[in-house]
């Protein structure tokens, strides 16, 4: 603590519920945890919103090139955002463990 500062209890601090760029009120926010408390939370929320909008535009028939120009990103970035995430394949160690478990 910096000398000269008072160590106030939470009830004695004047706090305004100003929200963030996504929700106008912290107390009424639908997210389980604040995006500002999560590592790269704001970045993740922005990217999720961007991906959702790209998906909508693609379903409306816009081309990947048009979407890339609209968002100011490369076509490959749009393609990555639009591709379905495939489940990760098991690595070799997991396959060996599974195989050994089922062997008699």
Q: How far apart are CA 90 and CA 96, in angstroms?
A: 10
Measuring CA to CA, which residue among 79, 88, 87 is closest to residue 51?
A: 79
Burial of 54 (0-12, 13-18, 19+ CB in 10 A): buried
Give the pLDDT confidence of 2-35 residue by residue, as tens digits.
Answer: 556 666 666 667 778 888 888 888 888 888 888 8
> How many other CB atoms sit within 10 Å of the CB of residue 67?
22
Give the pLDDT confidence of 36-76 residue by residue, as tens digits.
Answer: 888 888 888 888 889 999 999 999 999 999 999 999 999 99
* 63 Cβ contact list (under 8 Å, min separation 6): none
Residue keyed to tokens 């996504």: 22
pTM over 0.85: no
């Amino acid at each position: 603590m910096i000398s000269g500062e008072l160590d106030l209890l939470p009830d004695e601090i004047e706090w305004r519920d100003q929200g963030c760029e996504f929700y106008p009120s912290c107390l009424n926010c639908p997210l389980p945890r604040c995006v500002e408390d999560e590592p790269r939370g704001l970045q993740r929320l922005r990217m999720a919103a961007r991906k959702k909008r790209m998906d909508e535009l693609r379903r409306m028939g816009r081309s990947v090139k048009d979407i890339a120009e609209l968002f100011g990103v490369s076509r490959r970035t749009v393609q990555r955002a639009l591709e379905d995430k495939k489940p990760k394949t098991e690595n070799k160690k997991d396959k060996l463990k599974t195989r050994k478990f089922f062997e008699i």
